[in-house]
């Protein structure tokens, strides 16, 4: 079991009112850069870090931060699954999602899971502080470009039901589709997500049915094309 990593230190008098942030991301260099950026603003301080969903839950329980920044693409349970767990255990804790995906479907799914904001990693340096202020103040944050994409996505979906086949997939099914698209085997996916191989096979069967595919080979082909088109 990984040791809970905390950067919590006795605050200096000037930082007593700073909002305490926990960063959850499996890339140490990105966490470091984000910590430096956030710490450059006197309104926020990074009190803890984690690289996985289970580790994040331990850190949050111990440190009780004011906000959690969650990477969508965590190894093991995803950022969306972590957000659901955080929302269930800490209903009022703000969660800001960081993601490499600029697809509106991920933003919509993140908000539905209980996140308070969604920022792509590409735009994080320019907007994460704005996002933190908005979310801390109780507002939902999407960058202007992403907000426009989300609105367009919702309008198109309503105007043309079924325009996006993957919209019918659950969050877990979409995550498994993405992992299949990356070339991961069923056993590896099961291990990463703490699921039984049989459960993963059941999810794949549901994906096949919902996407009107004939067999596992077609699921794999579809997943690879889907992931490639989105730069996953």
- What domains are there in the chain, each with its CATH number? 5-152 (3.40.50.2300), 165-229 (1.10.10.10)
Distance CA 99, CA 204 (A): 24
Distance CA 124, CA 130 (A): 10
- Asked if residue 141 lies in contact with residue 73, where contact means CB atoms within 8 angstroms, the answer is no
Distance CA 16, CA 42 (A): 10
pTM of the predicted model, to two decimals? Answer: 0.76
DSSP-derived pairing of the beta strands 141-142 and 117-120 = parallel
Chain position carrying tokens 């996953």 = 232
Helix (H, G, I), strand (E, B) or coil at 28: helix
Helix (H, G, I), strand (E, B) or coil at 7: coil
Sign of the Cα torsion 83, 86, 92, 93 reads negative
Which of 22-31, 83-92, 178-187, 222-231 shows the lowest per-residue confidence on average (mean pLDDT)? 222-231
- What is the distance between the terminal CA atoms of the chain, rounded to a whole angstrom? 29
* pLDDT at 148 > cutoff 80: no
Helix (H, G, I), strand (E, B) or coil at 20: strand
In total, the chain counts a number of residues equal to: 232
Q: Which residues pair with 46 in a beta bridge?
A: 21
pLDDT digits (tens, 9 = 90+) for 76-99: 889 999 999 999 999 999 999 998
Chain position carrying tokens 């539905």 = 112
b/e per residue, 69-105, with b = 16+ CB within 10 A?
bbbbbbebbbbbbbbbbbbeebeebbbbbbbebbbbb
b/e per residue, 173-191, with b = 16+ CB within 10 A?
bbbbbbbbbeebebeebbe
Closest C-alpha to 59, from 50, 67, 51: 50
Distance CA 169, CA 162 (A): 11
Helix (H, G, I), strand (E, B) or coil at 24: strand
Q: What is the DSSP letter of 14?
A: G
The secondary structure of 154-174 as a DSSP string is: HHHHHHSTTSSGGGGS-HHHH
Mean pLDDT of the chain: 85
pLDDT digits (tens, 9 = 90+) for 164-218: 778 788 889 998 998 999 889 999 989 888 889 999 999 999 999 988 888 999 9
Which of 2-16, 53-67, 153-167, 212-226 shows the lowest per-residue confidence on average (mean pLDDT)? 2-16
């Amino acid at each position: 079991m990984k040791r809970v990593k905390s950067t919590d230190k006795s605050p200096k008098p000037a930082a007593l009112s700073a909002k305490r942030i926990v960063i959850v991301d499996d890339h140490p260099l990105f966490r470091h850069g984000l910590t430096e950026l956030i710490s450059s603003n006197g309104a926020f301080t990074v009190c803890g870090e984690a690289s996985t969903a289970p580790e994040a839950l331990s850190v949050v329980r111990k440190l009780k931060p004011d906000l959690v920044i969650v990477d969508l693409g965590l190894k093991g349970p995803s950022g969306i699954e972590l957000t659901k767990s955080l929302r269930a255990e800490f209903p009022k804790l703000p969660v800001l999602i960081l993601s490499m995906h600029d697809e509106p479907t991920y933003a919509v799914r993140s908000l539905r899971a209980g996140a308070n904001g969604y920022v792509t990693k590409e735009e994080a340096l320019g907007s994460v502080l704005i996002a933190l202020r908005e979310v801390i103040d109780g507002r939902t944050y999407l960058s202007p470009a992403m907000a426009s994409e989300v609105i367009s996505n919702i309008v198109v979906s309503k105007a043309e039901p079924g325009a996006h086949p993957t919209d019918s997939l659950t969050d877990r099914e979409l995550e498994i589709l993405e992992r299949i698209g990356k070339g991961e085997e069923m056993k590896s996916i099961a291990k990463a997500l703490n699921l039984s191989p049989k459960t993963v096979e059941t999810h794949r069967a549901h994906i096949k049915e919902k996407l009107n595919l004939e067999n596992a080979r077609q699921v794999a082909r579809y997943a690879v094309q889907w992931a490639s088109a989105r730069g996953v």
